[in-house]
A and B are shown apart, each in its own frame.
Chain A
Amino acid sequence: RKEVEQDPGPFNVPEGATVAFNCTYSNSASQSFFWYRQDCRKEPKLLMSVYSSGNEDGRFTAQLNRASQYISLLIRDSKLSDSATYLCVVNRVDSSYKLIFGSGTRLLVRP
């Protein structure tokens, strides 16, 4: 089983739609969770950290479910510029220096 699993997609949605991605992680001892965004042929960029109580940043909402070991990302009112690959990231429990990156979920927002 992969340490971090994501549906590769692509999720193809119209502008203005709400879309949600889930990501599961295998180690219940993980403590730090993030969502990154990666545009084609570019570096990953931090979108948001995920806190236990859930957190929101504008149109983006992240949730953590420790019991089921998954994190989610909800994007409301999708924009064309949201088209990208979204990477789910979890820390390595054997070392806080290391992060485990999921392979990403691709989102395509169409006009």
Chain B
Amino acid sequence: SQTIHQWPATLVQPVGSPLSLECTVEGTSNPNLYWYRQAAGRGLQLLFYSVGIGQISSEVPQNLSASRPQDRQFILSSKKLLLSDSGFYLCAWSVYSSGSALSYEQYFGPGTRLTVT
């Protein structure tokens, strides 16, 4: 069966510090991978998605970036954190989609709760 890991579970970082969050998926090959952010009491906001190694699409312009160095590894980074970067960061995967009209279910990792102070 497939599993998805994220770490760390919680993180407290000062403004201006760098960030690196990692996500790995097991039990599947060539998944689509996603990074979301959920602010307190709010809905999920898609930040980045990837359909293959080195292929990153950005949804929202901001000081975050993403990379996919391996098939089942997805990394979210920032060079300098802002207070507004605080939130619950969720990585998700889905079965690879060729871009048909139908979308596949997405499965989420346990998330990283980031507080920028």
Residues of A within 8 A of B (CB): 31-32, 34, 41-46, 49, 87, 91-92, 95-99, 101-104
Contact = CB atoms under 8 A, between A and B. Distances in A.
28 contacts: A31-B101, A31-B102, A31-B103, A32-B102, A34-B105, A41-B88, A43-B90, A43-B110, A44-B90, A44-B108, A45-B108, A46-B105, A46-B106, A87-B43, A87-B44, A91-B102, A91-B103, A95-B99, A96-B100, A97-B32, A97-B51, A97-B57, A97-B103, A98-B59, A98-B103, A99-B103, A102-B43, A104-B43
Nearest to A45: B108
Nearest to A46: B105
Interface of B: 32, 42-44, 46, 49, 51, 57, 59, 88, 90, 94, 97, 99-111, 113
Nearest to B51: A97
A102 B108 CA distance: 16
B99 A96 contact: yes
Contacts of B106: 46, 99
Closest 8 CB pairs of A and B: A91-B103, A43-B108, A32-B103, A103-B43, A101-B44, A96-B103, A31-B101, A43-B111
Contacts, number: 57
Interface SS, B side = loop
A42 B110 contact: yes
A82 B51 CA distance: 34
A44 B103 contact: no
B97 A96 contact: yes
Nearest to B46: A98
A104 B94 CA distance: 21
Highest count of chain A CB atoms <10 Å: which of B42, B104, B110 = B104
